[in-house]
Amino acid sequence: MVYDIIGDIHGHADELSLLLAKLGYRYEGGKYFQPGHQAIFIGDFIDRGPKIRETLAIVRTMVMHGAARTVLGNHEYNAICYHTEDGKGDFLRSHTVGDGKNTKQHQQTIKQLAFPHPGEWRMYLDWFKGLPFFLELNGLRVVHASWDSEFAEFVRERSLNDTEFLHRSATKGSKEFEAIDKLLKGPEIPLPLTFSAPDSEGFERTEMRLAWWKPRSGGNRFRYDELAVPGEGNMPSDIIPVEDLKRWPGYANGEEPVIFGHYWLPADAPAPLSANAACVDFGVAKPGWRLVAYTWRGERTLTAEHFANVPRIG
């Protein structure tokens, strides 16, 4: 089986259709499929873009027919929490904190789908709850944001259909929270107190997303700007305190290849980040950026030649 791993779609259904066609999928009988291939969606179908309902219809129909599989993205996880009451008068993902930041991020999904089509939206939320947190495909690891073997093991048999697990995963400080946070959102380390800069959505940041996929042999002195995610803007050149990196040893050269999304990498020509790590999120939610796929044919060493992409329309 050949796997086509497709990056964060964020409601860009037209670009998704073009990318599937480019990869060789045919649209017939109401669904896309390609014999001998399976599309692997990396999560983050919803929020931001113009055709969220259409995106979900394409993705879910393919999954239902075995033409695709998918892992859960942080936007779907957040949506589940946003629409689940916490029993204390708010929701597992608060509707009110931070000047409505959570509502702002989720606005397009509410407007396009949850508000006009509440029954259909409820069906999708139930579907999200059963999606896996990661996949292992005969030597390829697939996860939305970052691979962590210990946390993957911890959530392997778990599902958000388990109400207790769901509630614990939304409670800071629990192992369930840590596991979902790392697999679906990726590790962050605290920035020096003297440093200040807004994140990609304009919110003040106190932490830096860590380029966890970089192998980290040879010493323990690393600068923030060395281990920052590409495109994050200027990060300080101070040395990171050793204890902040202890839990995140980097992704060693000998590990199985891993493919993930989530990081909005800036690039006109997508390429692997290392021999065994590739990101397929090139920020289609931003004007001028791309929807990207990586076709995996069983190789241990990932190659730039296996990327395909379509530019964002409009």
The 3-state secondary structure of 244-289 reads HHCCCCCCCCCCCCEEECCCCCCCCCCCCCECCEEECEEECCCCCC
Among residues 4, 14, 15, 44, the one that binds Mn ion under rule CB under 5 A: 44
Q: Which amino acid is it at 16? A: L
48 in contact with Mn ion (CB under 5 A) = no
Instruction: Report how many residues bind Mn ion under the rule CB under 5 A.
Output: 3
Task: Report in angstroms how near the CB of residue 153 gets to Mn ion at its nearest.
Answer: 22
Could you tell me how many residues make up the chain? 314
Residue 188 lies near Mn ion (rule: CB under 5 A): no
- CB closer to Mn ion out of 44 and 232: 44
DSSP state letters, 94-118: -SSHHHHHHHHHHHHHIIIIITT-H
Select the span of 44-52, 64-72, 84-92, 165-173 touching Mn ion (CB under 5 A).
44-52
CA dihedral sign of residues 26, 28, 32, 35: negative
User: Which C-beta is closer to Mn ion: that of 222 or that of 294?
Assistant: 294
**Residue closest to Mn ion (Cβ):** 262
**Residue whose entry in the numeric block shows the structure tokens 């292992």:** 136
| Closest distance of CB 74 from Mn ion, Å | 4
Measured from the CB atom, is 15 or 44 closer to Mn ion?
A: 44
Under rule CB under 5 A, residue 109 binds Mn ion: no
- Our measurement of the distance from residue 70's CA atom to the centroid of its chain's CA atoms, rounded to an integer in Å, reads 11
Q: Tokens 């407007």 correspond to what residue?
A: 111
Tell me which H or E stretch contains 143. strand 141-143
Type of residue found at 299: E
Q: How far is the CB of 261 from Mn ion (least distance, A)?
A: 6
Least Cβ distance, residue 65 to Mn ion (angstroms)? 25
First to last CA, the chain: 34
Stretch that binds Mn ion, among 26-34, 42-50, 111-119, 128-136 (CB under 5 A): 42-50
Amino acid at residue number 135:
L
Binding mask 66-85 for Mn ion (x = CB under 5 A): --------x-----------
Nearer to Mn ion, 33 or 260 (CB): 260
Shortest separation between residue 118's beta carbon and Mn ion, angstroms: 25
* Of residues 210-269, those binding Mn ion (CB under 5 A): 262
> Cβ atoms within 10 A of the Cβ of 136, count?
13
- Those residues whose C-beta lies under 8 Å from the C-beta of residue 289, and which sit 6 or more positions away, are 264, 266, 282, 283, 311, 312
Residue that the structure tokens 């896309």 belong to: 32
Look at the block and give the residue holding tokens 């940041």.
205
Least CB distance to Mn ion at residue 257 (A): 20
Work out how close the CB of 93 gets to Mn ion at its nearest, in angstroms, rounded to a whole number: 14
Chain positions contacting Mn ion, by CB under 5 A? 44, 74, 262
